[in-house]
Amino acid sequence: MPPPRQCASCERTLEPAEPYYRFAVAIEGEQDAVDTTGAGTADEMNALLTQLEHGPDDPGHWEDQVHWERSGVMCDTCRERLIDFLGGTTRAPH
């Protein structure tokens, strides 16, 4: 018998006959304004290097700024909370 499913949000064990919802979320960092003219000053470059040097020691922090993803299963209650948080609706409009 497979191990019991657990909600990735509230960590509640989901019963075998209970409905559950699969999810996959990816958040990718982007930037539209990039100076491609080469007009950046030495001061701007030094400021950027200082920011990188004094940032977190964990390279995972910088990686998560560019790409973060998770997947799993969740219960109905957490599904509704997530949809509400994202500005959606879980019920048909009237």
Q: What domain range is 16 assigned to?
A: 1-28+64-94
Tell me how far apart the alpha carbons of residues 74 and 14 are, in angstroms, rounded to a whole number: 9
pLDDT of residue 41: 75
Look at residue 71 and tell me if it is in a domain.
yes
Burial class (CB in 10 A: 0-12, 13-18, 19+), 73: middle
φ/ψ (deg, to 5) at 3? -65, 155
Look at residue 78 and tell me if it is in a domain.
yes
Look at residue 55 and tell me if it is in a domain.
no
Find the helix or strand (DSSP H, E) in which 79 lies: helix 76-85
pTM of the model: 0.60
**How many domains are contained in the chain?**
1
Residue located via tokens 């191990």: 3
Going residue by residue through the chain, which has 94 residues, state the pLDDT in tens, using 9 for 90 and above: 778 899 999 999 999 999 999 999 999 988 776 566 666 677 777 777 777 777 666 767 767 678 889 999 999 999 999 999 988 876 655 4
pLDDT of residue 40: 66
Tell me how far apart the alpha carbons of residues 42 and 44 are, in angstroms, rounded to a whole number: 5
Look at residue 39 and tell me if it is in a domain.
no
Look at residue 43 and tell me if it is in a domain.
no
Look at residue 74 and tell me if it is in a domain.
yes
